[in-house]
Amino acid sequence: MKNDCLFCAIAAGEIPSNKIYEDDQCLAFYDIAPQAPVHFLVIPKAHIASVAAIDGGNSGVVSHLFEVIAATAKKLGLESYRVVSNIGEQAGQSVLHLHFHVLSGRDMTWPPG
Ligand code: AMP
């Protein structure tokens, strides 16, 4: 756990979240400022700063995160959804702990803004 990391604190249960799924490796919870009718985040419990910090030593959890994304979307009955991860300030990353946004329930535009 990294000090002063919001999502480490959420993963540790120190800050409450609206949880959808949790296991020993990860957590799925609803975004506090939803950008679509359904908007949840999937995070590893171990601190990884972003996609840019994924390497051979920590990538195992990433496949698990995608299994959880697929299973959670299925559980919520989502037939179409978008998975997004922002890396760095210019791309819009505001929390420096790896997370995948899952957005659904409205028409999406491409390219994203
Ligand atoms: P990003 O800006 O891509 O780093 O995504 C961070 C996301 O975390 C944003 O969509 C925020 O709305 C969301 N967020 C920030 N604080 C919380 C919180 N306490 N609980 C749930 N989601 C949060």
| Burial classification of residue 75, based on how many CB atoms lie within 10 Å of its CB (0-12 exposed, 13-18 middle, 19 or more buried) | exposed
33 lines ligand 1 (CB under 6 A): yes
Q: How far apart are CA 36 and CA 73, in angstroms?
A: 14
Answer yes or no: is pLDDT of 109 > 90: yes
Within the chain, residue ranges assigned H as helices are: 6-11, 60-75
How is residue 81 written in tokens? 């959804």
Tell me, yes or no, if 47 is annotated catalytic.
no
pLDDT digit string, tens, across residues 16-71: 999 999 999 999 999 999 999 999 999 999 999 999 999 999 999 999 999 999 99
95 lines ligand 1 (CB under 6 A): yes
Ligand 1 centroid vs 75 CA: distance in angstroms? 22
Q: How far apart are CA 26 and CA 11, in angstroms?
A: 8
Cβ distance 104 to 84 under 8 Å? Answer: no
In this prediction, residues 82-97 reach a mean pLDDT of 98
